[in-house]
Every structure is written in structure tokens, then in C-alpha cells.
Structure 1
Amino acid sequence: MKRLFSLIFLSFSLSFSYAQVSIKGKVTDAETGDPIPFASVLVLGTGKGMNTDFEGNYELSFSGEADSVRVSYLGYITQTKKIGSSANQTINFQLRPSDFELEAFVFEAGENPAFEIIRRAVDKRKEFDKRSLEAYETKNYTKIEIDIDQVSDRFTQRKTVQKVTAVLDSIRQLTNDEGEKILPVFFSETISKFYYRNNPELKKEIVEKSKVTGVGITDGSTTSQITGSVFQEYNFYKNWLNILDKEFISPIADSWKVFYDYDLLDSVLVGKDSCYRLQVYPRREQDLAFSGTIWINKETYALKQVDLTVPKSANLNFIERIKIQQELEPTSKGPLIPSKSRIQIKIGQVSPNTAGLLAKFYTATDSVILQDPLPTSFFNNAVELRPDFGNAGEDFWKRNRVDPLSSEEIAILQMVDTLKKIPIIRFYSEGLKFFATGFLPVGKVDLGPWTEFGNYNNVEGFRAGFGMRTNYSFSNKWLIQAYLAYGFKDERFKYSAFVTRILDRQHWTTLQFKSTKEIDQVGLEMESLAGNSIFLAASRFGTLRRPFISTTQQLNFQREFFKGFLLKGGLQIAAFDPLFNFYFLEQENRELRSRFETTEARVGLRYGRDEIIIINDNERVSFGPSKWPIFEVNYAKGLQWLGGDIDYHKLSFYLYQRLNMGLFGVSRYEVDAGKVFGEVPYPILKNHLGNETLFYTTAAFNTMNFNEFASDQYVSLRYRHSFEGFLLNRIPLMKKLKWRAVANGNLLFGSVRNENVLNVPSLDPAGNPLESFGRLDPTKPYLELGYGIENIFKFFRVDFFHRMTYLDAPEARPFVVKVSAQIIL
């Protein structure tokens, strides 16, 4: 009987020991709280294991002796946890990032087996690149969260910060698993439709619903245009991926072997597809290249998944980590479209007294429709908002979210709503916006720009001013802006006022009337330097060069007829009253005059094929071209019969393009050409922009003096190149500094016809010598070459310029050094 009881007890013990056990859980990043997809989960002692899905979830069932489960993933510290005694258990893991160091791989004989896999994947790039589709449409859900992290004790001890945390303590303190506080400052959700067509390549996103909450966010319409999927698109079938305006080389680019090493880890089953799992390593740690894991389909050699990180050692400023995770699904025609993407960008502390920043982007594609290409007119606006884009309740979001919000995200929403109402937060956020934009919103008007509040120069002495404009809250059809200034030395009032009527926001059609009375400078006109505000402000401080009173009235019209094609036209009546010793010969009776008036009719065309433009309240904002150049042609006609003193024609052409040179960095060039027909005083000629300041600017010839040369026909080329670490990353002692080499070349051909030379007398009526202008030899170009270093202490740049021609000119500067400060990544 004892033996029978012993046998029964042993049987029950064995059956209990080998009972079926189910465990599930989620694997997340301990610093960010984000899920870690594709992590390896293994039940020790059973051989049972799997990879987490894109949301970091896993679920395993096993029988047998097992007491622990282990989770591991490259770039993270492996973690093991005990398994309890219950049949169904939830075991979550929070992995802490580890410092990733490149390992040396030695292959004793033959080629690295991973190379042949990569070679075949590269050969099939065109077959799987979504850009080969004629047209497609996707429905996307995009979620963005921005947090302040790395909140140090020294930062939290500030009085202003303590006022904030005291309020937040009453809600909930969000921390990462290391106990460090994070402060969420922005959260958005967007439902949109994305449209693409090839030949010509055009893109458009229609934001159907958007919910935006954030510190300093006053108008959701502007922000909603940049929170959709169009700005979070990463295609690894391109050779180069543009991230934060930097070019990163894809692991399956044509030049993969120049930038990467690979290690074939194993073969794994991803869904129903058997895949190669490969480790990716940059050959040089400072290159803008990725490290991490990619999965390639064994049968088709298509990308299945990517989990890639830009290492901290890469030649970037402020960025501690860029992480991109993607799942890709084939369309019915073969090319792949990401079904889910997650991007993390971690910005580190600039100093111990500051905090860091963490931006998280998530996009899920709900549906893909392959269709015939839509007409090019459909793509007029790169981003478009539905009229009711902001009218959606919580029931709508619950139905349309791909995944429900986590408890942490719900807490984040509550904290952001509270943060933006705290007075000290509103004060600092509005202050930063005021400094960045120049305007301070106060109800339905904005005060500014602050650059007009005060100045000092030799003509006006101390100058005080005040300005304001209406904003979107006042009207989405009318924009009114004006400022008034007074010089205490010249005792003159100056002003500028304009009224703009927005006739059509879809095709951006506007009609504007503008009236101005200002002190301007020959060759440094405010209108031509409007896009270079810092240089303009510097040129108007101190000594003014050839100043004059400019009084103008303008009537301007513009309309975008189709995507990128903008037509401009207008009429301008202007008076030139010199404040320096200036005379010219009148066309008809050849009498000396110092003052003249012009009546000018203008028309212009601008075309940017792939330029991304959004509507920022009542203004258009350009994000620049991606690939194609921007063209601009302008024509002006001086009309004597309409009250002007001078009859003339002016024709100009402008071209700008950004060129990705791959391994060698990024180039930018500008071509500017023009011709003035007719006899005119030299202020109407093209007075080429020189630079006598200490500061570097791309808009000027940096070894040329102010007002040194003028032309009535000219062509110039300004070329600049950033090597992005290509040269200095390869010098052992230099690469730790993360300096970057730059180069410049500026070339100018120009001439002046005799009639415009003779138009300028040598003496005024009193017999005093007059200021004139320099002329270029039509057979001899003006040339300057430059080189320099940027990213010195992350902020500073030094350029050295050599003037190669016209060295015998009076006051010529054969060599100059220019400095500048910039914030670049």
C-alpha cells in the first residue's frame, strides 16, 4: 500500500512539473518606455523561444522544467526573470540600453557569407522600391510625442522648474525605469490619406482628422500639417535617407560595401516568411550610417523588417540616438510599403544645467490602394487639411486608433494639458516664439517684429520703432501689418504698412497693397535682403552705405496655378531721394539731377517641382526642394508714360539646387543672371553684394567691398560644399573633434554699357567729386575661393577666402577671414 501511495504521489508530482505553462508580456525600452520589437525571448531549459512583435509583445506556451525566461537584443543589456508557479503568467521586461561597440570580425577563408545576401537584395532594389509604382494611396495613423528627459537635479532645483513640478506632482510623476523624471510637452494624433504618383513624382497628404496638444501651441492648423505621415517617411530602398536634413546611407545602397560590414546571425521565421537575420555595422564609426539588424526574405531577397540605430559616435551634434524600426509588406504588384514605422530621436543635454529632449514618432498604414495616377492638379498642395479636421471626439479616436493609448500616454495627455496652462510655462514658451518669429501674439494681433524696436546708425542716430500685424484669429482672409519708426538724429518718421487679401488658399491667390517710407542703401536694399534677416540687420547698424530715402507704393498679385508654379505680378511707384552726394544725367535734356522717380510694372514666374510648402496661418512656408532645382524668372518695365522719370527693362533669372553627393557630402549652388536694357542711373543697375563685415554670409561675395562693382548685364555662380566629415573623419587626431570641412567658390561675369557709364558725371554742380561705381572687365571674371571648418565646439564656423582676381583694385582685400555661429546637427 505504501508503494502504491508513493507511485500515485510521484505521478501527480511529475504531471504537475510538466504541466502546460503560458507566459506573455511586453518588452520595452527602460529609458523611453517604447516597445522593443524583434527582441529574442527564450525560456531557458526548454528550447522554446520567439521574437517580440512590432509592439514588443510576446506569448509562449511550454511544458517541462523551466524556472526563468531571458530576453536579449543588440544594443541592450540582456535580462532574465524568474517564472512563477501559476499556469498563466504575465512577465514584462524593461531593457536598458548598452553602449554599442563595433566588433572585429575575421573570416579565415572565402567571402563573408552575408555579402552575397546583400548583393542579391541590392540587385532587386528596383523590384521592391515603392517608387516604381505608378500610383498608390494609403490611409495612415500617425502619433507623435515629445518629452523633456534627462531632467537633472541641478535643472529641477531652478525656481522656475520647481513651480512646474509642484503642479505636476498633484497629477502624476512620469519616470522612466531608472527613476529619472520626464516632462511631456507635446502629443498629437493624425488620421490622413497619402497619395503618390510617378512620372512626374508627386506626393500629397490630406489630413482628415488631427488632435494636437502641446506647450506653446496656439493654432492646431499649422502644426497639424507637419504631424502627418509625409514628414515621417523613411524608404530604405533609396541610396540615401534624409533625416533631420542630413543624408544617411542605406544598408542596401549601391555603395553598401564602402560603408558597411555585415554578419549573418541566423535564419528565422518572421510571420510566414523565412528570413536571413543580418547584423549591420558602419565601417567607420563617425559616418552617417546605421547599426542594427535587418531581416531579408530568403526567397525574394526583399526587406522584411529593419531595426536600425545611428550610433552616438556618428558625426552629429546634440543627437544621442536616432532609431528607426519598420515592418514592410508587399503590395499586390510587388513593391513594399511599410506597414508600421517607429522613429525615436534623442537629443542630449547641451550642458549639465539643461535637460534633454526625446521625440517619438509612430506611423501605421491601415490600407493600401493601387490606382491610376491622379491628375497633377490634384497635387497642388503638398499638405491639405479637411475643413473639419479638428472636430473629432474621443469616440472617433477610440474607433480609429490602430492601438489603444497606453496608461502612460493617457497620463501624458493630462500632463501636457496642465503644463500649457501654467503661467511660467506660457511665459517662456511665448518668449521663445517671440525670439524665433519676431512676433508676440496678443489676442487677434501679433506685436513685432522685435528687430524694428530699436537700432543705431550714423544717419538716424538712435532709432525707435513699434509694429504689429493681425493673425489667423483675426481673419483667414485678411492680413494687415504695419510699423512706425523714428530717428532721433535725422528727426524723420519711417513707416511700412500693407494689406493683403487672401482670395484663394487652395491655389494661394493673394492681392496686396503696400506703402513704405524708409531709409535704404544702394546695393543693400531691404527688399532684396528680406530672406537674409541677420545680414540685413547687421548692415543697417552703424555706418550706412550710400543711404537714400525710399518712398514706395506697391500693388502685388500672386497665384499658384499648379504645384510649384507660382505667377507674380504688380505695379510699383517709387521715389529715390539720396542722402549722399549723388547725381545722374537725365535722359532727354542731359541735365544733372539727384532725385528720380520710377513707375515699374513687374511680372515673375517661380517653379519648384518637388518643393514642399505648407500654409502657416496666413503665410506660405517653404521646406525647400528635395531633389529638383528651383527656377525663378522676373521681368520689370520702367514706364515713363505712367509718371516715371526713366524708361527701361530689367530681366533676371535665378536657379538654386541642393545636390546630395553621397560619400562626398552635400553641395548647393545658385546661378543668378540678368540684364538691364536702357540708360539708367547706377542705383537701378545690379549693384553686386559685397561683405565688409566680419561675419560670413552665403548671399554675398565675401572679399568684395560694398558698392565695389555694378553691372547692367551679369551672370554669377555661387557654390558651396559641406564635406559632412568625409575628410576629417579619416584623420585619427581630428575625428574626435567632429570638425567638418567646407569649401566655397564664387564666380561673377559682368559689364556696363557705355551709355550707363557716361550717365554718371564725375563732378556735381558745385564742382565736388562724386561717388561712382566700379566696373567689371567683360573678359575677366571676379573670382573668390574659400575653405574652412564648421562645427567648432558644435556652434562656430571659420571661413578663409582668397580673392583671385582684381587684386590691383583700390582697397582690394586679397585674403579675409569670416566667422559665423550656427546651430547644425
Structure 2
Amino acid sequence: MNRPFNQLCGLAVPCWLLLLLPGAPGARAQTILRGVVTDAKTKEKLPFVNVTVPQAGIGTNTDQNGRFTLQVPAPYTSLAFTYLGYRTVVKTFVAGQAQEINVQLATNAALLNEVVVTGSKGPRYKNKDNPAVALIRQVIEHKEQNRPESYRYVEYEKYEKMTFSFSNLSDKFKDRKIFRNYQFLFKKQDSLAAGGVNILPIYIEEKLAREYYRKDPETRKSIALGNKQVEFDKHFIDNEGLSTYFNRMYQDIDIYANNVALLGNQLLSPIANNAPTFYQFYISDTLRQHVPQLVELSFFPRNKGDMLFAGKLYVTLDGNYAVQQANLSVDKRINLNFVKRLDANLQFAENPDKRYHLSKSFLGIDFGLSEKGSGFYGERTVSFDKYRVNQPGPPGVYEGPARVPVDSLAQRDPNFWQLNRPDSLTQNERAIYRNVDTLQTIKSFQRTLTLFTFLISGYKSFGPFEVGPSNTFYSFNPVEGFRLRVGGRSTPEFSKRIYFETYSAYGFKDEKWKYFLSSTYALNGKSIYTFPQNFVRASFQRDTRIPGQELEFVQEDNFLLSFKRGINDRYLYNDVYRLDYVHEFSNHFSYALGFRKLQQSPAGSLYFRNVVGDQPNSVTTLSTTELSVLLRWAPKEKFYQGKLYRSPIIGPYPIFTVRLGTGIKGFLGGEYNYRNLIANATKRFYLSQLGHSDVTLEGGYVAGQVPFPLLDVHRANQTYSYQLNSYNLMNFLEFSSDHYASLFIDHNFNGFFFNKLPLIKALKLRETASLKLLYGGIRAENDPSQHPALYQFLRDAQGQPTTFTLGRLPYAEASVGVANIFKLFRLDIVKRLTYLTNPNVSEWGLRGRFKLDF
């Protein structure tokens, strides 16, 4: 409820992809085999037994309960069961028929005598005296020496290839009449390949960079050598933002880190310091013929719903206890949305000092709204080449920004990628570049993209001008009544340097026109919506506003925000003249210089009243002239740039903001001298299996004597949406301060508790909790009771005060909630903890918001 669907899209999943997902399952020509493997003597179920079809080179492992499921191509009819310390068993089956094969394995005494280390099996699993746990503890103990950061210098070339396809498409879907002109896009593949038989490749991206690391002082440098990706029509899709989202979904996997970032979540690594607490480990094989000798270490979560991996590690027994290879997957019951299948493979190569470095990684994820339906399959392959350790890089290479972009793609020789790719592209991958270019020339596809763009962004393009956003066309409030609005803005087709934006609105109750007009000039020759921004903007706005409400991502006349609780008829008519200069830098530091002339007039039941002499006096307008500077630093910030606003991709790095506004009395009608300083810091803290917390600290100080509308009117929320950065049970205009400090904590447990509850865990719900504290007050010089010439605090019709200052007791509210309801909603029960005797307050409230995430 915090954002309509067209503003929700892009926060976790590019919504144009969701809208294109077809729903029919694909056909598979194969034999489906299921069964249970047990110990012939003890009848205990055996985990991680290798179940293979040797001739086909495919296979799987049994799970914790000895169960397996395997899809076998029709020509094959034999199945082999192998397990360390047991005799191999081969079973035959009838091709083309789903069937159950249960197997009992007998121990091999001779083989058991040769094994150096073995692990306990079955339900009596324990860490104590478990050789597998002893081995993983050695891996954990040697982590630091096996990480690249243990070297003084590291240098290598990094090649990345990312591809995406619509997956698991049925023949019926493919042969629909509307796809008659698109048959060249569909591709056939092996029936057991990820993504199904029919796929539709739509995206490919390649990157090549030279990476440098220096330990002392610690420095990381990435110099881009080449970047190539499918280019969609920029009128419809932000290609750079799309690349950012895909790279966020498919991040590098560092097996030696305690937590692995994946799809915006953190999964505990199988070699994290506390991994034995959450994982079960089994020694499932020894590879004596390998040099050095390797141990195959199988692992899976103790609780299958937790954010954990399952798979195998291959550990060296040369004293380094390094990971030579890792195969990772996740259980289908894990609390991840839309993920049908995940497979990752890490391969390590030997350094001259006999330690290992990551040489190649693969990550493939099959997404879908349902298990059997069509979906979206993406894979990312990363190769590391020309690896050098303990050799310093060229002089000066460690200086300057951490990332150096490609100097000019236009200067790349056509043979550049053929010469620099570690592996050549497949025929399907080569065709993606050509097919997407062809696709965008088909008129029906252009019409489809036009429709989707309007549904998602809310804008309809007419060449040099586009109309929108659609969610503001209609709204209502107690002052304006029924409100209609229409607006739009120019596009790069009009000009790449000059941009215009405008709207006009009419309220049928107050019978007043509102309007806005702005003109922006880009100083860097790029779109003002392209990072890094560098522009100057002049604007005028005449409109209504609720005091204290500065919404960051949405307009106040958004239709969904029209629904409010309680009394909310205190509005302002604002006339605002602005001149702003914004300059962003590639390191994500930015500053903004601003001039604002503001004239505020009370509307509805809001009034401005002071005491002149001994008589009450009504004030019709409040005029200020203000100069401001805004400083913002968001290291390593990532976002998706939509047509209306940026959608931040929240990561582990903090964001710092400082704003200083100075009012100038006597300049262009300004009535007050003041200085308003606000500082804000926000950061996400990842707590491994306990989820993550978003923490925001903010403080403000107003210097000078000013009436209460120029104080900090704290952000209240009287809508039924749960707003993260507002006080959800505070009334509009309830508190004002000239100095304050606040703390917001919003924690998501990612289903840590729900995942362990029978029945409930199948719903994949997630627990949330929040706490909001606000300390503040007003100095004597800004207290209207001591200075009657200042505007008096508001009172209701019965004379009861409705605007207050904060005393020694902070304003506090807390909530607990359930997120991921139908993978879309979050509901919170909010409790107001203090100032409960204020009039018209709600002690309890139920609030909701859209929250689409993985």
C-alpha cells in the first residue's frame, strides 16, 4: 500500500519480465525415477548416495532421508548406486514409465578398512567425534590463508558472461498465432537441461576487466577492458539499470566469506565460522588418485527451510585444507521467492605456492511463479585468467577511483571479443545479439513494449513528449475533494540537454487550479535521469501539501495515499519558486545547491494565528526565502533508474546525508532569519541466519526564532500503508521541534522462526519487527506560550491542543508483522507506546504495504 504496482516494479524483479512470463508447462520426454536408499543391515536411510546413469553422464544424490528423484532420458535403462564404504548396486528399469526403485546397500568390509576418515550417517547425527565436522573445522581454521587477501598483491583478468532466457515454454505456447513472426527466437535444447526443452533467449552481457589487489594499504582496483550487452530500445528499458539488477541477482560467490550475498539475501556459507551449528556434514568419498588427495564432503541444512546451501565441497589433504571445488544448490523449501532451482559450481586452480585461487564460477537460477509453469532462467559464468600473486602492479595503478570504466566502446576492434574470450560463445548465445536487434524492428513487439511501459512506469510516450504518471490522474482529499490531474514531460527526442516537466490539476471542492512547470538543463550532455547527474533546474509550483510530509518516492496526490484515517483536513496552499543545481560524482558523492522562495497559506482547518498586543491575529501567508546546500555520500550505491524515480538496491554500505538551509529575512519577501541543519545516516546490517536490520539515525537543529511551520514538523502517517520512514501512529502536525534525534530500526528475520513451525513453514512467511524513537523539544525562544508573537500551536474546535512539543519522554512506537504474504504483502501490527493521552490518537493500528522481493 506504500506504492502502487507501477512504482513497486523494479524494486526486486524487473516487472516487464514478470509481465511477459507465460504460464504453460513444457513437455518432457523422459523417465521419472524415485526411491529410497537404505543400509541393508541397519535399515537406516543413507544420505548423499550417488545415483547416476553412467552412460548419460547425469545423476543426483539422495537427501537427508535417503530419498532421490531423477529424470532420465528415454533411451537409458540402468541406474547405478554408489556410496563410500558400500558395494555398488546397478538396477535396470523400463524406459518411459515413472517408477519407484528402492535399494538396500551392503557394506564392503575391505573398502572400509582402506578409508582413513568416515562420517556418521542417519538420524543419530552429531558434531561430537564426527570426522566430517573435524575436517570442516580444519577448513574454517585455514580460511584466512586460503583467501586471495592473504597475499601482498593479486592481479588477474576477469571475464563475465551473463545470459537470460524465458524458460520451460510449451509447444502449445510457442505455436500460438501471436508468435508467428517470432519463431526465430525460440530454441530447442536437451530435455534435461535447465530451463526445459523450449527456451527463448533474450539477454546476454559480457564484461572483461583487469583486477588489482594490494594488501597494505588495502586497495582494490578494477579497470574495465570491454563491456558488451544486448541493447533494448532506450524509450522502453533502462539498459544500464537492467544490467545493474541482473548483476545484483547474480553476484560473485565467495565461499570463504561467512555469508554469501545472493538475490538480495545472505546465505550462510558452508565454511562459515558457525557452519557446524547450522549444517550437517558427511564424508561421502575420497579421491586418492587426485594430487593432492581430496575428500568429498557433503553437507545440507539441519533445517531445510533456513537460508542455507546444500551440496559438496572437495577439500585438499595437503595441509592447506583448501576448497578445490564446490557444488552448491538450495532446497526447494528454502524461504526464497520465485526460485525453482539454483546450481552453483566453483573451481579452483593451483598457485605456484600450492595454494588455490578461484579459476571459474558458474551460477544458474531458474525462476518461476509456479513449480511446473514457464519462467525465467539465467546463468552467469566468470573466468579468472592471467593470475599473478605477490607481484606489484604497474606504477600508479592503485591510485585514483576504485573502478575505471571502459574508455570507449567505439574503439573496440570487431575481433576484440573473439580474441579475449576464454571460451567461444555457443550458437544460441551468438544469436541473441542479432535476434534482439531484429525483434525490435517488429511493430507488434513495439506495441507490446509500449503497453507494458505504460503499465509499469505510468507514462505514455508521444515521441518528444510523454504523458503521466497515471497513478496521479485521480485522487481526493478533504480540502480539494475530487481532484483530476494531467501532466507529462519531454523526452530525449525533444532534446538531450533541455527537459521540461509540467502538470495541471483541479480540485472540484475548493475550485482552484494547481500547476507545476520546470525546465532543466543538463550540463554534461546526458539525460538528467542518467548517473552521474549534472544539471541546473528552475521550477514553479502552486499546489496543496500536508505540513511535514516530504514523500521521497511518491506524489502526495497518489490515488492510494488518498485513503487516510482520522482528521486530516489541515493543508497548505504553497507557491514555490526554486532554482537548483545538482552535481553527482562517479564515487557516489553528490552535492546540491538550492534557492527557494516559498509562500505558504493555510487551507482547510489549518490556521496561522499569533497575538499582537493583547489581540489574536490571523496570518494569511508565511513567506520565506532560503538558500540550501545538500551533501550526500552513498559509497558503492546501486539503483534501478526508472522513468519517474530511482529505485535503490539496498546493500551493506551506509548512506550519509547532510542538509543546511538558511533563511534570509528581507530578501525577496523573506520574513525570518534561520538556519536548519539535518544530518541522516542509514545502513543495512546483515545478521546471517537472523536476517537483516535497516537502521536510520537522524538529527536536526533549527537556529533562530521562527514560527512552528518552520520548525521540524515530524513525519506522521495517517494513511493505512506502513511507511518505513514515517511515524505510523502519529497524527499530522502533532509534534514540532527545533532540535531532535531519531532512531528507526526495521528488522526482517527472513522466516527464521516460521521456517521451523509445521504447516506454517510451507507458506514461506517472514517475520518483521520495528522500533521508532524520537527525542526532541523546543527552546524557550521558539515556545509560543512564552512568545505570543509567534504562531500559536494548533487547537481543535473544542479548544484542545493538537500540536505539541516533545518532553523528556521520547515518542515511541513499535511493530511486529508478517511479510511475504502471497509473496507480495507485508502486514504490521503497530503499537504506540508514549503520549497516549494526546487527543485523537490511536494506540494500535494495522498497516500494510507492497513488498515484492526474492
* Letter paired with 1:646: Y
| Aligned partner (choices 342, 359, 366) of residue 378 of structure 2 | 359
Corresponding residue of 1:38: none
| CA distance in 1 between partners of 2:646 and 2:586 (Å) | 15
Corresponding residue of 1:148: 166
Corresponding residue of 1:563: 587
Check conservation: 1:750, 1:781, Cα contact below 8 A: yes
Report the 3-state secondary structure (helix = DSSP H, G, I; strand = E; otherwise coil) of the residue aligned with 1:397: helix
| Aligned partner (choices 649, 655, 664) of residue 630 of structure 1 | 655
Corresponding residue of 2:177: 162
Check conservation: 1:70, 1:78, Cα contact below 8 A: no
* Letter paired with 1:77: L
State yes or no: 1:797 paired with 2:814.
no
Report the 3-state secondary structure (helix = DSSP H, G, I; strand = E; otherwise coil) of the residue aligned with 1:547: strand
Report the 3-state secondary structure (helix = DSSP H, G, I; strand = E; otherwise coil) of the residue aligned with 2:685: strand
| CA distance in 1 between partners of 2:335 and 2:803 (Å) | 44
Report the 3-state secondary structure (helix = DSSP H, G, I; strand = E; otherwise coil) of the residue aligned with 2:418: helix
Structure showing greater relative contact order (alpha-carbon pairs closer than 8 Å, 6 or more residues apart)? 2
Q: Deviations along 1:650-682, whole A, 9 cap, x unmatched?
A: 011111011111222111111121011122222
Q: How does 1:128-139 map to 2 (within 5 A)?
A: 128-133=146-151, 136-139=154-157
TM-aligned CA deviation for residue 434 of structure 1: 3.4
State yes or no: 1:500 paired with 2:485.
no
Corresponding residue of 1:289: 308
TM-aligned CA deviation for residue 257 of structure 1: 0.7
| CA distance in 1 between partners of 2:494 and 2:351 (Å) | 47
Cα distance change, pair 596–777 in 1 and its aligned pair in 2 (3 A): closer
Q: Deviations along 1:342-362, whole A, 9 cap, x unmatched?
A: 11111123498x631111111
Report the 3-state secondary structure (helix = DSSP H, G, I; strand = E; otherwise coil) of the residue aligned with 2:755: helix
Check conservation: 2:244, 2:639, Cα contact below 8 A: no
TM-aligned CA deviation for residue 143 of structure 1: 1.7
Cα distance change, pair 534–309 in 1 and its aligned pair in 2 (3 A): farther
Q: Deviations along 1:696-732, whole A, 9 cap, x unmatched?
A: 1112111112222121111111111111111122222
Check conservation: 2:478, 2:569, Cα contact below 8 A: no
State yes or no: 1:182 paired with 2:199.
yes
Cα distance change, pair 420–630 in 1 and its aligned pair in 2 (3 A): same
Check conservation: 1:210, 1:224, Cα contact below 8 A: no
| Aligned partner (choices 192, 208, 224) of residue 191 of structure 1 | 208
| Aligned partner (choices 111, 115, 122) of residue 104 of structure 1 | 122
Corresponding residue of 1:12: none
| CA distance in 1 between partners of 2:813 and 2:248 (Å) | 43
| Aligned partner (choices 310, 313, 327) of residue 307 of structure 1 | 327
Check conservation: 1:341, 1:362, Cα contact below 8 A: yes
Check conservation: 1:654, 1:672, Cα contact below 8 A: yes
| Aligned partner (choices 784, 798, 804) of residue 775 of structure 1 | 804
| CA distance in 2 between partners of 1:346 and 1:507 (Å) | 31
Check conservation: 1:225, 1:385, Cα contact below 8 A: no
Q: How does 1:713-728 map to 2 (within 5 A)?
A: 713-728=739-754
| Aligned partner (choices 131, 135, 139) of residue 117 of structure 1 | 135
| CA distance in 1 between partners of 2:572 and 2:126 (Å) | 78
Corresponding residue of 1:77: 70
Corresponding residue of 1:434: 454
| CA distance in 2 between partners of 1:31 and 1:361 (Å) | 26
Q: How does 1:249-268 map to 2 (within 5 A)?
A: 249-268=268-287
Check conservation: 1:608, 1:625, Cα contact below 8 A: no
Check conservation: 2:588, 2:635, Cα contact below 8 A: yes
Check conservation: 2:524, 2:535, Cα contact below 8 A: yes
State yes or no: 1:553 paired with 2:582.
no
Corresponding residue of 1:49: none
Corresponding residue of 2:506: 487
Cα distance change, pair 639–233 in 1 and its aligned pair in 2 (3 A): same
| CA distance in 2 between partners of 1:306 and 1:104 (Å) | 23
State yes or no: 1:425 paired with 2:445.
yes
| CA distance in 2 between partners of 1:501 and 1:114 (Å) | 61
TM-aligned CA deviation for residue 276 of structure 1: 1.5
Cα distance change, pair 552–307 in 1 and its aligned pair in 2 (3 A): same
Check conservation: 1:194, 1:229, Cα contact below 8 A: no
Report the 3-state secondary structure (helix = DSSP H, G, I; strand = E; otherwise coil) of the residue aligned with 1:654: strand
Check conservation: 2:609, 2:791, Cα contact below 8 A: yes
TM-aligned CA deviation for residue 133 of structure 1: 4.8
| CA distance in 2 between partners of 1:773 and 1:245 (Å) | 42
TM-aligned CA deviation for residue 748 of structure 1: 1.0
Corresponding residue of 2:553: 531
What is the TM-score of this pair, normalised by structure 2? 0.77
Corresponding residue of 2:48: none
TM-aligned CA deviation for residue 141 of structure 1: 2.1
State yes or no: 1:817 paired with 2:838.
no
* Letter paired with 2:307: L
| CA distance in 2 between partners of 1:314 and 1:722 (Å) | 16
* Letter paired with 1:812: V
Cα distance change, pair 711–617 in 1 and its aligned pair in 2 (3 A): closer
Question: Which sections of structure 2, spanning at least 5 residues, go unmatched?
Answer: 1-25, 30-53, 63-68, 78-96, 103-119
State yes or no: 1:378 paired with 2:362.
no
Check conservation: 2:474, 2:483, Cα contact below 8 A: yes
Check conservation: 1:137, 1:195, Cα contact below 8 A: yes
| CA distance in 2 between partners of 1:602 and 1:183 (Å) | 51
Check conservation: 2:479, 2:569, Cα contact below 8 A: no
Cα distance change, pair 504–169 in 1 and its aligned pair in 2 (3 A): closer
Moved more, 221-230 or 319-328: 221-230
What is the TM-score of this pair, normalised by structure 1? 0.79
Corresponding residue of 1:653: 679
TM-aligned CA deviation for residue 369 of structure 1: 4.9
TM-aligned CA deviation for residue 750 of structure 1: 1.7
Report the 3-state secondary structure (helix = DSSP H, G, I; strand = E; otherwise coil) of the residue aligned with 2:253: coil
Check conservation: 1:441, 1:447, Cα contact below 8 A: yes
* Letter paired with 1:667: S
Check conservation: 1:215, 1:429, Cα contact below 8 A: no
Corresponding residue of 2:66: none
* Letter paired with 2:755: N
| CA distance in 2 between partners of 1:817 and 1:227 (Å) | 35
Q: Deviations along 1:558-603, whole A, 9 cap, x unmatched?
A: 4456734333322222222332442244999997532122111112
Check conservation: 2:683, 2:694, Cα contact below 8 A: yes
State the Cα RMSD in Å. Answer: 4.2
| CA distance in 1 between partners of 2:98 and 2:419 (Å) | 35
Corresponding residue of 2:695: 669
Cα distance change, pair 576–444 in 1 and its aligned pair in 2 (3 A): same
Q: Deviations along 1:385-427, whole A, 9 cap, x unmatched?
A: 432269553x333222221222333455554444444434333
Cα distance change, pair 346–739 in 1 and its aligned pair in 2 (3 A): same
Cα distance change, pair 186–588 in 1 and its aligned pair in 2 (3 A): farther
* Letter paired with 1:316: L
* Letter paired with 2:201: P
TM-aligned CA deviation for residue 533 of structure 1: 5.5
Moved more, 479-488 or 583-592: 583-592
State yes or no: 1:735 paired with 2:764.
no
TM-aligned CA deviation for residue 243 of structure 1: 0.6
Cα distance change, pair 598–541 in 1 and its aligned pair in 2 (3 A): farther
* Letter paired with 1:432: F
Check conservation: 1:347, 1:356, Cα contact below 8 A: yes
TM-aligned CA deviation for residue 501 of structure 1: 2.3
TM-aligned CA deviation for residue 609 of structure 1: 3.6
| Aligned partner (choices 300, 317, 326) of residue 337 of structure 2 | 317
Cα distance change, pair 219–652 in 1 and its aligned pair in 2 (3 A): closer
State yes or no: 1:405 paired with 2:425.
yes
Corresponding residue of 1:60: none
Corresponding residue of 1:748: 774
Report the 3-state secondary structure (helix = DSSP H, G, I; strand = E; otherwise coil) of the residue aligned with 1:378: coil
Moved more, 452-461 or 281-290: 452-461
